[in-house]
Structure 1
């Protein structure tokens, strides 16, 4: 076990002398910013907290951290589940949630310029007032920040049609490890000048630089969104139906799958009756001018093996059909602690993945609740356990889930990032040669290794 190191003498005083906003060593504040939703507990609280009020604060904090060689853990809403925002002794937590202005929403160019602390749902609402929307739709939209979404390359329910965060980011303002501010990308939809530095920083989890601004692509609100839900005897037949939607060249804007254990919990907690309809549930949406014909075609494919099927004819009925998916995680969380996993496999192997996830749960004697963004093969096996330290059986089951993803030709993270939780598994996935390239880029941008050390690669 590593020995926690204290902050260097004079560092806190230097922050104060530099005029950095809200510098705190209060134990209560430090404890509150030491963890995220991963369940990972650091060896002790961080050394100091800076709640940035402007870009100048970020630059000054990073310049001083570089001078004193203090590790820096950037933080937004703390909603991450891979441990990227976990901060241990001797570190500076750089809280960016106060940089929360929506600077511009342009209905002609269909872009938004925002600070990193903007809550995802707030941007969605602002865009909606001019007939647009921010297409990425993470489940944590009500609490997650744009900066955190950029850091993890977050996904969501609409990714099957609109892509992940990277597909919506046109440009970034980034403060490097030594305090230098750079701008990447552009405000145009096209542009190939220079290397894709924007894409490099998206998904880097604060290990290469700290995002202080983002130019984001917006899309028109669809004229119509329609839904179909279908139940199946078991999760494998439901997964086959989802694969058949892709094989039929249909284009859903959402395609979700929930297993029997998840449906049972939703029913028990919410008083619904989804599990009575079958052993698995698929929910699909189509949007846009052709939503009616598209959802009818999707319903025809889904209905071939379904035990029950219902099509939403308007916004109200469509929202009701999506209810089970949105209630899944909050319902499971009422039963105790949850290790929220995130793997992605080829769509053609989705049925096999669900079957073998269930076998992993049985082998380790743990409860696994599985649901998926089935349209892109992204599974979320949630391992439930009693409140307290994560049991060894849960850790072992998680390791087997990552091994399964790689065996099936997939990845250990579809949208949640790597953080502390999956670092060793990332090494196995990308191999030593690619890992060396990662580390060379890290060294070039952060030669002292102060930016979110130990996270990612």
Structure 2
């Protein structure tokens, strides 16, 4: 008699192309988890690689009929454990659905499949003098489907918003295999509930995105860059608060001393490692307007106590500094074991939060390198500790939880752009009141009544 697993595999192989169903345990290892450190992962029973919406429907029907958990997966670049497998699950890999189906300059949108790499879409849009704004640090390898699942952000969020602000419409396969198209083709539209926004950031718990209609913008002017060096993090935080009252920068990024030193060791480029913090701001207004906005940022930084503040006249230097910011994560990652946090607070509480991060590092006796999107209050404190040191690991975990508590006490959130996944699920209930938790449960029940879509992720953890 065939086992239920054999029956499932047989059904999948009947509907999918050769090579699209993988059961070999050794070949399944790369699909167990994403890049999150410290996130638990199980052993999947099977991984599938559909190429069409119809094949995704067949996969979901087979899973639904047998009650098999399904974990949707893009490039595995996530940092919350949102794509981590559970024991006995099916990993639904969407990276082979990678077509850019259409770009419509007159209507200002592109139609893409979920496996399209973020940077590839940006490059394709550029050939039409258009621009896809969301630019997470992993844009060279992360997929649009994963960006939608986590509502990914990036350096340009401060002016252009996160992925949700770029999604006009979606094609989604539901838990039982039904398919629906939601959203609109124009820039405006308010008919019905905003189901598109509901799916963006749902981390694969409500349905599987198989097509996205994404807003494209006119290609911005070459940026004008302002740089400021600060003797302490508090002065940098005060500068951020003031900058946002006089300018609308297209990015406003912060790196602390620990991060600057790590980046300089990783890739020497002459960074001032004696500084306590560096702010990098850009204006994408054209010509003299951009120069004036950058000059306003420089003046604010000087007033806040910057030891050095200037507008870069050299695009090469500006690109180098922006590259340094993008190297923050890989540079710190090389220093040892790590836990990356992703808190966001109101800008008026930024100084308080930065002070709190420093206190936590001292109290827990851990190294924390802080970088992030200061302009929208989204900080990435990265805890680094020695490998093979259990006591240091315990202190790091305690510091991680302290940082989440710090964000909530400042009126912020435990995740600005990485998602809840596995690693923050236990604290989500601290952010959501009981009524909001009940609404989450009701929404999940409506879309996935038997609970097969990405179980154990994103929703508040129940006692």
Is the pair's TM-score, using the shorter chain for normalization, greater than 0.5?
A: yes
Deviates more, 1:389-398 or 1:94-103: 389-398
Matches within 5 A, 1:8-27: 8=5, 10-19=7-16, 22-27=20-25
Q: How does 1:13-412 map to 2 (within 5 A)?
A: 13-19=10-16, 22-40=20-38, 42=40, 44-248=42-246, 250-276=247-273, 278-289=275-286, 290-304=289-303, 305-387=305-387, 391-412=393-414
The verdict on how the C-alpha distance between 1:354 and 1:7 changes in structure 2, with shifts beyond 3 A counting, is: farther
Q: Deviations over 1:101-144 (max 9, x none)?
A: 11111121111100000000100110111111110110010110
CA distance in 1, matches of 2:42, 2:185: 42
Q: Distance in 1 between matches of 2:193 and 2:450?
A: 24
Asked if the contact 2:38/2:339 (under 8 Å) is kept, the reply is no
SS at match of 1:103: strand
Q: Which moved more, 1:344-353 or 1:382-391?
A: 382-391
CA distance in 1, matches of 2:382, 2:419: 16
TM-score (norm 1): 0.95
Q: SS at 2:396's partner residue?
A: helix
* Structure 1 stretch displaced more, 381-390 or 287-296: 381-390
The answer to which of 206-215 and 296-305 deviates more is: 296-305
Distance 1:350 1:43 in 2: 34
Secondary structure in structure 2 of the residue aligned to 1:310: strand
Partner Cα separation in structure 1 for residue 448 and residue 17 of structure 2: 22
Tell me: CA distance 1:46–1:40, structure 2 relative to 1, closer, same or farther (3 Å). farther
State whether residues 33 and 85 of structure 2, in contact with CA within 8 Å, keep that contact through their aligned partners in structure 1. Answer: yes
CA distance in structure 1 between the aligned counterparts of 2:314 and 2:268, rounded to whole angstroms: 24
What is the Cα deviation at residue 265 of structure 1? Answer: 1.2
Gaps (5+ residues) in structure 2?
none
CA–CA separation in structure 1 for the residues paired with 2:143 and 2:71: 16
Q: CA deviation at 1:42?
A: 4.3
Cα distance in 2 for residues equivalent to 1:419 and 1:69: 21
Answer whether contact 1:277 1:308 (CA < 8 A) is retained.
Answer: no
The equivalent of 1:443 in structure 2 is: 445
Structure 2: how far apart are the matches of 1:49 and 1:409? 40
- 1:425 positional shift: 1.3
What is the deviation of 1:9? Answer: 5.2
After superposition, the Cα gap between the structure-2 partners of 1:17 and 1:324, relative to the gap in structure 1 and judged at 3 Å, is closer
Structure 1: which 4+ aligned runs deviate by more than 6 Å?
A: none
Distance in 1 of aligned mates of 2:190 and 2:313 = 43
Q: Take 2:296 and 2:374, find their aligned partners in 1: how far apart are those partners?
A: 17
- CA drift of 1:44 comes to 3.9
Q: Distance in 2 between matches of 1:30 and 1:11?
A: 17
Deviations 1:353-409, CA, capped at 9 Å, x for gaps: 111111112211211110121101001001113446892222111111110000010
CA contact (8 A) 1:228 1:295 kept: yes
**Distance across 2 between alignment mates of 1:343 and 1:323:** 22
- In the TM superposition, residue 256 of structure 1 has moved relative to its aligned partner by 0.7
Report the counterpart of residue 423 of structure 1 in structure 2: 425
* Length, aligned pairs only: 451
| SS at 1:293 equivalent | helix
Cα distance in 2 for residues equivalent to 1:7 and 1:298: 63
- Shifted more, 150-159 versus 23-32: the winner is 23-32
Deviations 1:220-264 (A, max 9, x none): 11123110110011111111011111233x110010111111111
Superposed CA RMSD in Å reads 1.6
SS in 1 for 2:197: helix
* Corresponding residue for residue 3 of structure 1: none
Asked whether the equivalents of residues 263 and 274 of structure 1 are also in contact (C-alpha less than 8 Å), the reply is: yes
Please state how far the C-alpha of 1:27 moved relative to its aligned partner.
Answer: 1.4
Query: Bigger shift: 206-215 or 271-280?
Result: 271-280
Aligned partner (choices 406, 412, 415) of residue 413 of structure 1? 415
Q: In structure 2, what is the Cα distance between the partners aligned to 1:334 and 1:7?
A: 44
Secondary structure of 1:362's match? helix
